[in-house]
Chains A and B, each alone.
Chain A
């Protein structure tokens, strides 16, 4: 992990219109280059809102965000060129083929021609989808669609990747392929910001995690160190439950 801060968040607050409670309250956080940083929390903790603000999709009510030294309030276009986003939903066009989807999303990053075609085929091969390159996405299984969803967000080799629960609802094989790939690109210098409900997965994957609840960060650090600091808990999941409680969330 480098000492260079790639994301600097200061006093971030977001209140949605019509809502009295802020979705996130005065969050401050530094994320370092080459990190795999996990944002963990129960439903409604504020993970997706934080991620959306970092991607420039929402403007915060208060606070600032700097990504790679660029201010999200004024230099969003430049920021969008260096980030990759993998949404929680399979954000693809179901009636387009895998190649058509990837070509379109690649084009949005100004990737074109043979370079793009070769990049698409290479990634499809890595994720075991080359046989399905010309198949429509609506014929894909859940795992295949998730893998393609990931490729679409990483096609332009971004410096920084935001992943919103990328392994939710998929088979073990697909999960392994995805997590291995994330490890691989992280080794090559990509910073990964990742949200998940799977504590074991986060514990193994992330260099640091922030546990969020009700719009605030309640704990932050290396997952193994966090568990070690609280010997009464066997693993991150137990610690997480102790910090966030066992009440059901909406």
Chain B
């Protein structure tokens, strides 16, 4: 135990004197959390007008539908309607040219008379329906047939995402249906009032019959709104914890290259004891990192007007997932540090592999935004297992049982990587020949 403590003290001193290493471990992830949360909050929030998507809008209708679409899009926090370019009113042709040149991503052209067409068609439908009650003479109804509606043209830049395209088309379709419904009720009332002068049309308030309520079901019936912080803090914390690989491999390889390991192995202390002391210090650092990142999410991020991180009350599961993440990171570092022959090799492979595992595991982009094949690939990343564990606690209020699968996977990863390091060390001597 005495030798273990002495070796741990030595590791701690070495780490504390490596300022660049400390910056990588503490300042980089903190900066990432703040920047990523800020960018995403601005991108999806309602704060900055410039972040809205500009839409060229040509309203040749100048009637109910055109005006309603315009009003609806203008009130949206996601779009900014542009109806003139360089003080010239946008036409269908100039809009097509602007989108073709890539100056704008979307243009909407409402043709002249589109409301009139809808109104005519609605009137034909109402007349035909009421004719069934014998309210109209046959020859009057016989000539009425539905007209083909005019077409609203939406021009898209080829680079625009299909999901976003669907959202724009759906919004316009929704306005169209609403106008048609309103017209239908209005014309029905007008026709009935014409046939029955005693009929007094009711004042209809066109409120939506169905409303929508957004809920985020959690294990503990706690209403928690997922936000960028609930993703960014655990994601970048895990990323930072895995970056312990860099100083750990550096320490392992330096010791080997500078000959200290040669000296240590000739002393009456076991290699396992030395590695345990080293890993204990790095484990301690990982846990401090995790605690600091979570605390900064709770108390530091709100200073930037970013939502506060909600961690719930499941502290033991939180400790467990943090512990297993730290162990997985240490195992990975131990494996790379044992197998790599040079410092450069370990640093390059270590950092690139963490970035790849992070990208795969949903650290950069949430998993649900990835294609199906990538979602399957993500399930092989230990960073993804850890992220799922943190999500379970922070977003779904999960308890021990809910994080158990991820915890076991991370611990298994730790055991496998340690085993690989151990076998490799048995096969290949850790010291220079």
Query: Which residues in A have some Cβ–Cβ distance to B below 8 Å?
Result: 16-17, 23, 48-49, 52, 55-58, 77, 80-81, 83, 85, 87-96, 100, 103-105, 107-110, 112, 152-153, 162
Contacts and interface: CB of A to CB of B under 8 A. Distances in A.
Contacts of B13: 95-96, 100
Contact of B263 (A77, A91, A100): A91
Interface stretch (B157-165, B254-262, B291-299): B254-262
A53 to B, nearest CB: 11
Contacts of A89: 258-259, 262
B97 interface: no
Nearest to B269: A108
B268 A56 contact: no
B3 interface: yes
A109 B10 contact: no
A80 B428 contact: no
Nearest to A103: B6
B429 A77 contact: no
B305 interface: no
B330 to A, nearest CB: 21
Given A57-B429, A110-B2, A112-B2, A93 B259 contact: no
Contact of A87 (B6, B7, B9, B263): B263
A29 B113 CA distance: 109
B60 to A, nearest CB: 74
A152 B263 CA distance: 9
A153 B266 CA distance: 10
Contacts of B259: 87-91
B169 interface: no
Interface in B237-269: 258-260, 262-269
Interface of B: 2-3, 6-7, 9-10, 13-14, 17-18, 258-260, 262-269, 427-429, 431, 433
B429 to A, nearest CB: 6
A107 B3 CA distance: 6
Given A57-B265, A112-B2, A96 B10 contact: yes
A85 B263 contact: yes
Contacts of B269: 108
Contacts of A81: 268
A105 B2 CA distance: 12
Contact of B2 (A55, A96, A107, A162): A107
Contacts of A55: 265-266
Given A80-B268, A96-B14, A153-B263, A49 B433 contact: yes
Contacts of A16: 433
Nearest to A77: B268
Contacts of B260: 91-93
A55 B267 CA distance: 9
Given A58-B429, A95-B14, A104-B7, A85 B262 contact: yes
B106 to A, nearest CB: 58
Given A89-B262, A104-B6, 8 more contacts: A57-B429, A58-B429, A85-B263, A96-B10, A96-B17, A100-B10, A107-B6, A108-B268
Interface of A is mostly: loop
A68 to B, nearest CB: 14
A147 B375 CA distance: 59
Contacts of B266: 55-57, 80, 83, 85, 162
Q: Which 6 A-B pairs have the closest CB atoms?
A: A89-B259, A91-B259, A107-B6, A85-B266, A80-B268, A91-B263
A114 to B, nearest CB: 15
B247 to A, nearest CB: 12
A85 to B, nearest CB: 4
A104 B262 contact: no
Given A49-B433, A80-B268, A81-B268, A91 B6 contact: no
A152 B3 CA distance: 16
A16 to B, nearest CB: 6
Contacts of A80: 266-268
Contacts of A112: 2
B268 A109 contact: yes
Contacts of B433: 16, 23, 48-49, 52
Contacts of B10: 93, 96, 100, 104
A104 to B, nearest CB: 5
A140 to B, nearest CB: 14
A142 to B, nearest CB: 14
A36 B56 CA distance: 92
A56 B431 CA distance: 12
Contact of A93 (B14, B267, B427): B14
B251 to A, nearest CB: 10
B259 to A, nearest CB: 3
Contacts of B6: 103-104, 107-108
Contacts of A91: 258-260, 262-263
Contacts of B17: 95-96
14 contacts: A55-B265, A80-B266, A81-B268, A85-B262, A85-B267, A88-B259, A90-B259, A94-B258, A104-B9, A104-B10, A107-B6, A110-B268, A112-B2, A152-B263
Contacts of A52: 262, 431, 433
Most buried by A among B6, B264, B266: B266
Nearest to A79: B268
Contacts of B431: 52, 57
Choose among B17, B265, B267 the residue with the greatest number of A CB atoms under 10 Å from its CB. B267
Contacts of A96: 10, 13-14, 17
A17 B428 CA distance: 9
Contacts of A77: 268
A116 to B, nearest CB: 10
A108 B3 CA distance: 6
A100 B260 CA distance: 14
Contacts of A57: 262, 265-266, 429, 431
A107 B13 CA distance: 15
A3 to B, nearest CB: 27
Nearest to B270: A77
A191 to B, nearest CB: 16
Contacts of A104: 6-7, 9-10
